[in-house]
Amino acid sequence: MLACAPVYGQVEDDYHQFTDKKGQQILAMLLGVSDDRRYMKIQRVDGQEFESEINILSLDDQQYIKDWLKSQPEEETDYRLEIAISKKQKESEDHKEETYSLERKYYSYEITIKNLSRETLNSASMEYTIVWEDQVQIYETDGGLWSYRTPKYGDEQRVKLSGSSDVEAVAFNREAVLETESFEIDEVSFFGNQIIEKDEPVGIIVRVLSKDSKVIAEVREGSLSEEDYPWERVIAYSEPKTDD
Q: How far apart are CA 32 and CA 10, in angstroms?
A: 7
Burial class (CB in 10 A: 0-12, 13-18, 19+), 39: buried
What residues does each domain of the chain span?
A: 16-71, 81-234
Maximum Cα interatomic distance, the chain, rounded to a whole number of Å: 98
pLDDT number for residue 39:
94
Give the residue ranges of DSSP H helices in the chain. Answer: 59-71, 231-234
Whether the pLDDT of residue 148 is over 70: the answer is yes
Average pLDDT value for the chain: 89
* Per-residue model confidence (pLDDT) at position 150: 86
Summarised one tens digit per residue, pLDDT across range 85-120 is 999 999 999 999 888 899 999 999 999 999 999 889
- The order of strands in the sheet holding 124-133 is 158-167, 124-133, 200-209, 215-222
Using one digit for the tens of pLDDT, what is the confidence trace for 179-225? 999 999 999 998 767 888 999 999 999 999 998 899 999 999 999 99
pLDDT grade, residue 5 (50/70/90)? very low
Structure confidence at residue 52 as a pLDDT band (50, 70, 90): very high
Confidence (pTM): 0.69
Which residue(s) pair with 40 in the sheet? 33, 52
Q: What is the CATH number of domain 16-71?
A: 2.30.30.700
8 residue type, one letter: Y
